[in-house]
Amino acid sequence: LNRGRAYQFKGKWDLSISDFNMILKMNPKVAGAYYYRGLTYGKTGKHDQAISDLSKAIDLKPNVFNAYVDRALIYLAKGQYNQSISDSSKVIELSPGHATGYILRGRVYSEKNEYGKACSDWQKACRLGYCKSINEAKKEGSCQD
């Protein structure tokens, strides 16, 4: 797993995927191998394969915060906003005291031009210590004080 991740950091995507494939061939229940292979697929623009692997990682370990974040980002990149909102909401459910889910869901709402919902989520993120999104939206006029 570590070698595959090292290949990721070096941008050696094919070697990374090959390592994760080898792990999964030996043991198809290694959630981390699906997760990191999914990240690699995402980095290389193979969004459907990334979603499939991240979904498998979630099936094996349903409380993995990062897998939902990364899958939500890929859904967002594909314009699949409802799925991205669903995953962002799951991030909030798993870690309500962390700003990430609110930031991400706010971003999706913003993409959908649902600025009221976006601003509400970004305000919640700000209360949790991350104010960059709400401050930028206020400067742009998307959100009010």
Q: Are residues 8 and 54 in the same domain?
A: yes
Tell me the per-residue pLDDT of 30-83, one tens digit each, with 9 for 90 and over: 999 999 999 999 999 999 999 999 999 999 999 989 999 999 999 999 999 999
Asked if residue 76 is part of any domain, the answer here is no
Q: Are residues 15 and 48 in the same domain?
A: yes
Asked if residue 93 is part of any domain, the answer here is yes
The pLDDT, as a whole number, for residue 123 is: 97
Tell me the per-residue pLDDT of 107-145, one tens digit each, with 9 for 90 and over: 999 999 999 999 999 999 999 999 999 999 999 999 987
Q: Are residues 12 and 57 in the same domain?
A: yes
Which residues does 50 contact at the CB level (< 8 Å), separation at least 6? Answer: 38, 39, 41, 42, 70, 71, 74
The pLDDT, as a whole number, for residue 145 is: 74
> Is 133 in contact with 109 (CB distance < 8 Å)?
no
Asked if residue 104 is part of any domain, the answer here is yes
Domain range for 18 is 1-62
Angstrom CA distances, 88 to 15, 26, 53, 84, 121, stand at 31, 32, 18, 6, 11
Please state the domain count of the chain: 2
